[in-house]
Amino acid sequence: MAKAVPVREDQPPPDQPSPSGRRRAVAGTSPSHTFEGIKEVGTFFWQDSDLKYRFCAGTVVPSPDKDLVLTAAHCFDSTDQQKKLVFVPKHHQADAKPYGLFPIRVGQIYADPRYLRKGGDHDYTDLDFALLKTDPRADGRKLQDVVGAIPIGYGTGYDHPRTRVIGYPWLPDDNGKYKPHQDPLECVSPMKRFTADSSGGWKGGSFSQIDCKGYVRGTSGGPFIVGGDDPQVVGVTGGWQTGGHSDDTSYSSYFDGDLKRIYDAAVAGRQPAPVVLPAASTWKHATDIASGYFALDGPVSDDRMDMFVMWSDGELTIYRGADKSLNHFDKEIRVQQPNRLWAEHAKQVVAGDFTGDNGSDLIVVWSDGEVTLYPSVDEKGFHGERQIVAPNETWKHATAVTAGRYGGNKWQDDLVVRWSDGELTLYQNTGTALGKEIKVVNPNKLWTHAVEIGSGDYTQGDTWDLVVRWSDGEVTLYDDFTGTGDTWGEHRWQAPDDLWKHAMLVSGGDFSDNPWPDDTLVRWSDGELSLYTDGDRSGIGAEHQLVTP
């Protein structure tokens, strides 16, 4: 794949000479050989009666409509959506179309929208996979009914000692001319993990690597197959410049939730929703997250909460809530450009309805102890500023802050503060001034280990619940939290756990179909962003990976 060109078909024009000057072979390269192929793997042609112009490879994968082919995204560009293309299973030199021709349905090429953007092949090297829907062949039979299918293996790891790799190379005839009908290559070799730093404008990352001799231009999209009698496709040649740095090394983007999202979209017959959430490398710089109703014209009738994010450079962003098919967020709204004041001095940001207008307001705790209210924050930004507390020494020690409905009234205007000495305080009915102060817990050593606190209604009552992530990774729910008496119960969501020590930001809210704010956003130390939906007393809920690390 040394000569592969991203976001263009992996096939030169018929009169283009053969690529010259191959890279040096990789030590430990496994031998490859030509063969007739297997019926589940084939190649693509521009549709014509003579099958002259061939490119890339693909694998039939199971689907309800029995019509999907898995391949590499860089084999296609936006113009291919309207071209007449065909998939030819088990194409080989002796029999160019042993199972017939299956037209690619016009407009039915599915890839991640981020990869298809200008420069997306460079910025999203980990998304070099695509699925195509086929029409039945001339006699009306569907592709999967004719040749079968090989299942996709998601998240199977990188290390597979016997991995079968198939590809259709572009090789010239004896006169150096284009040779459309060729036998595929086959090789069995260990698959392993390859990690690269970003360089030359290409995003680095971790990829599946195979070292097989002679996988030159044309082999893109060919499968990495593991499993022997129970085969799975765990990769396709593509990714990292894009498919390999020499003819004897091939890479694949790792098959994870991103591919599953593309597959689900292809099965549903709709293009994948645009992904507005930035990559994990950016989420490492999210310094606080607040959940609220900031974008009041959202895309769903039962409005979801939106996610307000403060970044380390002082930028402030709203991500508008949407349904699951849109990855839960469908629009990015920049409230404020990077700003030195916010970057250096805004320490805590919480959302609530402190003005009683059914929208969301922000309260910000600053490094000098000042506490500020920003009422009715929306897509247009801020609409005024009110000082709740003047700069002071006490509020410099506010270590964790959240807002919920904790027994004061029907509004989400009760502020909970964990102080540096372990004291826990509730301010009921906070507005343009702090509300009624209730000391919940006196200064103590235990509560100094409450690293993150969040709010939500996980028990579906009039009073909200408090979520605490402790320094040892334990996560606890205190239901019907009022700050007084002993009516609120304690439920361990997560026992002490090393993984949960890496949950850096925790924010509760309403991000799913039911009307309760019983969902939880978690930003992890590696930049992963997770949404847990429909939590209750027994647990935090089902996990949805919004951003992969």
Looking at residue 18, its pLDDT comes to 34
Q: What is d(CA 100, CA 195) in angstroms, rounded to the nearest whole number?
A: 40
Rg (CA), the chain: 28
The count of other CB atoms within 10 Å of the CB of residue 181 is 16
| 90, amino acid identity | K
Q: What is d(CA 450, CA 543) in angstroms, rounded to the nearest whole number?
A: 23
Sequence-separated (6 or more) residues with CB below 8 Å from residue 118: none
Looking at residue 219, its pLDDT comes to 87
Q: Which residue has the tokens 């103590």?
A: 444
Counting runs of H as helices and runs of E as strands, what totals does the chain give?
Answer: 6, 33
pTM for this entry: 0.65
Per-residue pLDDT of the chain (549 residues; tens, 9 = 90+): 233 233 334 444 333 333 333 344 455 789 989 999 999 999 999 876 577 788 999 999 999 999 999 999 999 877 777 778 999 999 999 999 999 999 999 989 999 988 887 788 888 888 999 999 999 999 999 999 999 999 999 999 999 999 999 999 877 777 777 677 889 999 999 999 999 888 888 888 889 999 999 887 778 999 999 998 999 999 999 877 665 567 789 999 999 988 998 999 999 999 887 778 988 889 999 999 999 999 876 554 457 899 999 999 999 999 999 888 778 998 899 999 999 999 999 999 999 999 988 889 999 999 999 999 999 999 889 999 999 999 999 999 999 999 999 987 889 999 999 999 999 999 999 999 999 999 999 999 999 999 999 999 999 988 999 999 999 999 999 999 998 866 678 999 999 999 999 999 999 999 998 889 999 999 999 999 999 999 999 999 999 999 888
Looking at residue 12, its pLDDT comes to 40
Looking at residue 549, its pLDDT comes to 81
Structural contact between residues 393 and 368, judged by C-beta atoms closer than 8 angstroms: no
272 is written with which tokens? 């994948």
Q: What is d(CA 305, CA 508) in angstroms, rounded to the nearest whole number?
A: 10
The count of other CB atoms within 10 Å of the CB of residue 373 is 21
Looking at residue 16, its pLDDT comes to 35
Q: What is d(CA 293, CA 377) in angstroms, rounded to the nearest whole number?
A: 9
Looking at residue 1, its pLDDT comes to 26
- DSSP of 296-359: TT-SSSSPPPEEEEEETTS-EEEEEE--GGGTTEEEEEEEE---HHHHHHEEEEEEE-SSSSSS
Looking at residue 487, its pLDDT comes to 66
Q: What is d(CA 400, CA 451) in angstroms, rounded to the nearest whole number?
A: 7
Q: What is d(CA 58, CA 448) in angstroms, rounded to the nearest whole number?
A: 56
Structural contact between residues 215 and 164, judged by C-beta atoms closer than 8 angstroms: no
Q: Mind listing the domains of the chain with CATH numbers?
A: 33-268 (2.40.10.10), 280-542 (2.115.10)
